[in-house]
Chains A and B, each alone.
Chain A
C-alpha cells in the first residue's frame, strides 16, 4: 500500500510534466493540424542554454529564466523561418521538416556540447519526504506540481480571459473568418508557437533532472510519452492533454514500479495502440462536437 501511494504520487508528478508537454503539442496542433515533432529538441536547446547560463552565473534560477526566454524566441523563430514555408503544403511536409530540424539540431548540439550525458541539477531535493514513516513525495515533486499548476492557470487565463487569447483561439478554429474580422492570423500563429515552445521548455527543465541528465536526445522518450498523452486526450483538447498526461504518468509509474523500468517504453506504445483502436478520436475530442 505504501508503495502504491508513492508510485501514484510519483506518476502524477511525471504525468504533470507530460501534461504540460502534451499541452504544448495541442496548442500547435489545434492551430495548424500539425504535430510538432521538433518540440522535444527545442526544449533540449532551451535546457542546454539554461545549463550554460547556470554554469556561467552559478544560479539555477537565471538558467531557468534563460530557458523560458529562449523557448519563446525559438518557437517564434522556428515558425517564422521554417514552418511558415510549409504552412499551405500537406501536413506530411511539415512533419518531415520538423523531423529534419530534430536531426540537424541534435547534430549541432552534439558538436557544441558533446554527446555525453551531463549532470543537470535539480533546484530542490529529490529525496522523498516521509509522512508517518511512509515515503510520500520529494520536494522536487512539489516544485513540479506548483510550476505546472501555475503554467496551466496562466494559459487558462490567457486563452479565456484576454483579447489576445480570444484572437488566438479564433485564428486556430477559423483562420479565414478571423482574418475577415481583422485578426492577424500569421502573428497569432507565431505567438502560438512561441507559447508552445515556452511550455515545452518548462517541461524539459522539469523532467531532465529526473532522468539520466542532459543529452541532445534527452527529450525523445518524453516526446513519445507526451504525444501518447495528447492522443489520449484527442490532440485538440487542452483538458484532454492534461488528463492524458496524468494517465500516462500513472501507467508508466505503475509499470515501472511493479514490473520493471525497462518495460515502460513498451507500455507507452501499448497504451497508444489501445487508445487508437478503441477511441481513435481520443477521449476528449472536440471534432465530433464541431461537425454539426
Chain B
C-alpha cells in the first residue's frame, strides 16, 4: 500500500524555537493513523504544520507524492487536505447551514452543494434539526458533529482531526469513533487523528505514532501499541 501522506524529517516551531524535531510519518490511503502523546508533545503543532499554519524549518510533507510545503493555507483544502482544528473551529456567528456551505464553497457553488449538504444531514440528523441555529447555540457534541460534517462536505482525501473527543461525553465520543470507522471502511477516508483519549483512538486506528517532546518515539500498528506494556506505561499513562 502506498502512503497518501508521507512526512520526512519535519522540523518546525514558533519564532525560531523548534517544537517538532525530525518527525517521520506515513499514513497509507484509507487508514486511520492516531497521533498520541502527552500535552505539549507537539501533536497540535504537527497538524498545524501539515496544514500550513506553521511554516516548517526543514523536511518534506508529501500528499500523494507532491510537496505541500510553502502552499498558502487556503490552497491546502484544494489539494484534498481538511483540518478540523482543536476547539472544533465552528464559526459561532454563522448558522449550521452556512458553516456547512462554507465547507464546500471552494469547489462548488451553493446550488451544486445541495447534494453534499443533504448527505451531511443524513449522517448527522441532529444538525438538520438545528440548521438555522447559530454556531454558538450548539452543544459541544453538536459542534464536533458540525466540524466533522463541514470537513466532509469538502470531500477531502486526508482529514486532520485535532482532539475530537475533547470535552465530550463518552457516548458521543464512541459515536464519533464509530463514524470515523465507517467513513474509512465505506468511503476510503484517510485520517490523521490527534487524541489524548488513547483508548478511543486506538480502538479505531490502524496505526499510531507516539510523540514525546516533539519527536516520534514509537510508530507501529495500533494493535502492537496496545500490547506494548512498557511503552504504554512510559508515554501513554495506562
A joins B in a complex: yes
Q: Is A92 an interface residue (CB 8 A)?
A: no
Q: Is A180 an interface residue (CB 8 A)?
A: yes
Q: How many residues of A contact B (CB 8 A)?
A: 21
Given A163-B109, A163-B110: A182 and B91 interface contact (C-beta under 8 Å)? no
- Roughly how many angstroms separate A185 CA and B52 CA in the complex, as a whole number? 15
Q: Mark A280-292, 1 if CB is under 8 A from B, else 0.
A: 0000001001101
Minimum distance in angstroms from B76 CB to a CB of chain A: 8
The 18 listed contacts between A and B (C-beta, < 8 Å) are A163-B105, A166-B105, A170-B91, A174-B91, A176-B85, A177-B85, A179-B53, A179-B74, A180-B73, A180-B74, A180-B82, A180-B89, A181-B105, A182-B74, A182-B78, A183-B105, A290-B136, A292-B92
Within 8 A of A (CB), among B22-62: 51, 53
List chain B residues, Cβ under 8 A from A170.
Answer: 91, 94, 98, 102
Cβ 8 A contact of B93, one of A163, A181, A183, A290:
A290
Q: Is A126 an interface residue (CB 8 A)?
A: no
- Roughly how many angstroms separate A37 CA and B154 CA in the complex, as a whole number? 39
Minimum distance in angstroms from B140 CB to a CB of chain A: 11
Q: Is B150 an interface residue (CB 8 A)?
A: yes
Minimum distance in angstroms from B80 CB to a CB of chain A: 11
List chain B residues, Cβ under 8 A from A14.
Answer: none
Minimum distance in angstroms from B45 CB to a CB of chain A: 15
The interface size bin for chain B is 20 to 34
Q: Is B106 an interface residue (CB 8 A)?
A: yes
List chain B residues, Cβ under 8 A from A183.
Answer: 74, 102, 105-106
Q: Is A113 an interface residue (CB 8 A)?
A: no
Instruction: Tell whether, in the assembled complex, residue B74 and residue A173 are in contact, meaning their CB atoms are under 8 Å apart.
Output: no
List chain A residues, Cβ under 8 A from B77.
Answer: 180-182
List chain B residues, Cβ under 8 A from A215.
Answer: none
- Roughly how many angstroms separate A153 CA and B49 CA in the complex, as a whole number? 42
List chain B residues, Cβ under 8 A from A169.
Answer: 93-94, 98
Chain A binding surface, main DSSP class: helix
Instruction: Tell whether, in the assembled complex, residue B105 and residue A167 are in contact, meaning their CB atoms are under 8 Å apart.
Output: yes
List chain B residues, Cβ under 8 A from A289.
Answer: 136
Instruction: Tell whether, in the assembled complex, residue B105 and residue A177 are in contact, meaning their CB atoms are under 8 Å apart.
Output: no
Given A166-B105, A167-B105: A181 and B94 interface contact (C-beta under 8 Å)? no
Instruction: Tell whether, in the assembled complex, residue B110 and residue A290 are in contact, meaning their CB atoms are under 8 Å apart.
Output: no
Q: Mark A152-180, 1 if CB is under 8 A from B, else 0.
A: 00000000000100110110011011111
Extra 6 A-B pairs, beta carbons < 8 Å, given A166-B105, A181-B106, A182-B77: A163-B109, A163-B110, A169-B94, A180-B85, A184-B74, A290-B92
Given A180-B51, A182-B77, A290-B136: A173 and B106 interface contact (C-beta under 8 Å)? no
Q: How many A-B contacts if CB must be within 8 Å? A: 75
List chain A residues, Cβ under 8 A from B91.
Answer: 170, 173-174, 177-178
List chain A residues, Cβ under 8 A from B101.
Answer: 163, 166
Q: Mark B79-96, 1 if CB is under 8 A from A, else 0.
A: 000110100010111100
Within 8 A of B (CB), among A89-125: none
Minimum distance in angstroms from B103 CB to a CB of chain A: 6
Q: Mark A75-101, 1 if CB is under 8 A from B, else 0.
A: 000000000000000000000000000
- Roughly how many angstroms separate A182 CA and B102 CA in the complex, as a whole number? 9
Binding site for B on A (CB under 8 A): 163, 166-167, 169-170, 173-174, 176-185, 286, 289-290, 292
- Roughly how many angstroms separate A174 CA and B75 CA in the complex, as a whole number? 17
Instruction: Tell whether, in the assembled complex, residue B74 and residue A185 are in contact, meaning their CB atoms are under 8 Å apart.
Output: yes
- Roughly how many angstroms separate A65 CA and B161 CA in the complex, as a whole number? 49
- Roughly how many angstroms separate A60 CA and B169 CA in the complex, as a whole number? 66
- Roughly how many angstroms separate A283 CA and B105 CA in the complex, as a whole number? 34
Minimum distance in angstroms from B46 CB to a CB of chain A: 15
Instruction: Tell whether, in the assembled complex, residue A179 and residue B93 are in contact, meaning their CB atoms are under 8 Å apart.
Output: no
Instruction: Tell whether, in the assembled complex, residue A182 and residue B92 are in contact, meaning their CB atoms are under 8 Å apart.
Output: no
List chain B residues, Cβ under 8 A from A181.
Answer: 77, 102-103, 105-106, 150, 154
Within 8 A of A (CB), among B127-149: 136
- Roughly how many angstroms separate A166 CA and B73 CA in the complex, as a whole number? 19
Cβ 8 A contact of B83, one of A180, A185, A286, A290:
A180
Minimum distance in angstroms from B84 CB to a CB of chain A: 8
Q: Which 9 A-B residue pairs are closest in the complex by CB-CB distance?
A: A182-B106, A182-B77, A179-B73, A177-B89, A173-B93, A174-B91, A292-B136, A179-B74, A180-B83
- Roughly how many angstroms separate A169 CA and B92 CA in the complex, as a whole number? 11
Cβ 8 A contact of A173, one of B51, B78, B94:
B94
Cβ 8 A contact of B102, one of A178, A286, A292:
A178
List chain B residues, Cβ under 8 A from A166.
Answer: 94, 98, 101-102, 105
- Roughly how many angstroms separate A169 CA and B99 CA in the complex, as a whole number? 11
